Structure 1
Amino acid sequence: SGTLKTQIQEGAECDLFISAGQKQMNQLDITADPEVNTDKLDFVLEGTRINLLENRVTLCVPEGNPKDIKSFDDLADKLKEGSVLMAMGNSDVPVGQYTQKILAFYGLDEEKLAKDGVITYGTNVKEVTTQVTEASVDCGVVYCTDAFSAGLTPVDYATKEMCGQVIYPAAVLNISGNQEAAKEFLAYLQTDEAMKVFEAVGFASVA
């Protein structure tokens, strides 16, 4: 999303922007917090911005679930015992930041867990899914869509209370030469027909 935002900012032709995070959309939206839109960029067509989709943070296990991890509650207990090895994203990637919030929700000390050797890290979500797929770890925390792409079955989904929501905003851009068509397409993306396609690959409608 950061790369796409930069391309829009630098003049790439674009009618509709769907971002994997609010931050990048806010950086293009003149009505957003000026502390986020520090360059006072104005690319979002007024009245078109919506929250289109929600991705979910999920707990995944290798095939066969060798450590019989049933849920985030169960994982928290097993991490305290030191009986499982969990993969998570680094702190500089969003999926890692969401995982840190989940650990904090359960009152777990990430630094201590890492020293105890029950956490391993990936530089991005794909590395985490690979560790789970290859069964080099007992579980991993990834997005639902990445679990789907990797053929992993989630055993639990993080709640909003655990780590907040992962919202994908969308908006027509005011630089578009096809604004009416872009508005119609954005409206279509909100239909039940389109949502079935999104849900089939792990997205959910925004609750």
Structure 2
Amino acid sequence: MTVTRASRVLVAATVFGIALALTGCAPATPAATAPTGSAATLEGDITVYAAASLQATFTDLAETFEADNPGTTVALNFAGSSALVTQIIEGAPADVFASADTTNMTRLTDAALTDGTPVDFATNVLTIAVPPGNPAGITDFADLAGPDVRLVVCAPEVPCGRAAKTVAATAGVTLTPVSEESSVTDVLGKVTSREADAGLVYVTDVAAAGDAVEGIEFTESASAVNTYPIAPVTGSASADVARAFVDFVTGSDGAAVLRAAGFGAP
């Protein structure tokens, strides 16, 4: 049979039409979409005001938090809890406050400056710190009242000072310190420099000091257990980062670091 040019055109048109119809029936290629389910990225800078006894642990925790959240920066300010809460109430730019006692956290809560309910995350007790070799021969709490003992303690308004006062009252011992310091780290400094024969500090401070001091535990310390609470401060420009840091400290990772440093569970 002879195939004319008109026939070839008709066949080609028919084949093209069928292909076009089949293409129209095929499912369209889905458009590329962004992956779902990824966690929101934290970004922002925060300043954490923390009790002096938290210096070693919070320095480690802040470094880990920043590594886990590259868009964040955590600045740390350490001092006695009473001084820190006074600064915050007076307008200091803090995003998180971690206190060495509930009394000073209550001051911040009463001033309506905590964003949510504070969370207890650790406990601590006092111990006696002496220079290496224990030159004054301190063996127990009662020895601190000796007439020739140069004793250094925290001021009464500081958590470690309030704890020392409670312990002394429980033990029936009258202490006559040669100085009262504004933070527990200042007390430890007096001992390590041998300006004092003994100082009342936290067990965690002695552990962190290594060979610079020796620690002497005493049973009366159980009468004054300090509980540490933490909370975001109201008005933070990076409230999500502040809350995330609090969650990190009070979570399993934070607990592991704190327990390794000698802090007790809340």
TM-score, normalised via structure 1 length: 0.67
Over 3 Å counting, the alpha-carbon distance change for 1:19 and 1:190 in structure 2 is same
Distance in 1 between residues matched to 2:178 and 2:205, nearest whole Å: 18
Give the 5 Å matches for 1:9-24: 9-24=89-104
Distance in 2 (CA, whole Å) between partners of 1:43 and 1:83 is 45
How far has the Cα of 1:15 moved from its partner? Answer: 3.4
Q: Deviations over 1:107-160 (max 9, x none)?
A: 2233xxx4xxxx533434445323432445443211234334543232215656
Who is 1:44 aligned against?
Answer: 114
Structure-to-structure mapping, 1:1-207, within 5 angstroms: 1-29=81-109, 37=110, 41-46=111-116, 48-70=117-139, 74-76=140-142, 78=143, 82=146, 85-89=149-153, 91-94=155-158, 95-110=160-175, 114=176, 119-124=177-182, 125-150=184-209, 151-156=212-217, 161-162=222-223, 164-206=224-266
Deviations 1:64-101 (A, max 9, x none): 2345544xxx342x457x48615132654433332232
| Separation in structure 2 between the aligned mates of residue 193 and residue 4 of structure 1, nearest angstrom | 25
Tell me, in whole angstroms, the C-alpha distance in 2 between the residues paired with 1:158 and 1:96: 18
Name the SS for the 2:178 alignment partner: strand
TM-score (norm: length of structure 2): 0.55
Is residue 115–residue 231 contact of structure 2 (8 Å, CA) maintained in 1?
Answer: yes
Stretches of structure 2 lacking an aligned partner (at least 5 in a row): 1-80
CA contact (8 A) 1:55 1:204 kept: yes
Letter in 2 for 1:170: I
Larger Rg: 2
Fraction of identical pairs, as percent: 28
1:54 maps to a residue whose letter is: T
- Equivalent pairs counted in the alignment come to 182
Distance 2:154 2:89 in 1: 28
Q: In structure 2, what residue type is equivalent to 1:51?
A: D
| More helix by percentage | 2
TM-aligned CA deviation for residue 28 of structure 1: 2.5
Question: Which residue identity lines up with residue 55 of structure 1 in the other structure?
Answer: N
Q: Gaps (5+ residues) in structure 1?
A: 30-36
Instruction: State whether residues 58 and 155 of structure 1, in contact with CA within 8 Å, keep that contact through their aligned partners in structure 2.
Output: yes
Equivalent pair of 2:156/2:165 in contact (CA under 8 Å): no
Q: List per-residue Cα deviations over 1:178-204 (Å, max 9, x = no partner).
A: 444433322221233222323444433
Root-mean-square deviation over aligned CA pairs: 3.2
Matched residues in 2 for 1:141 and 1:8: separation? 27
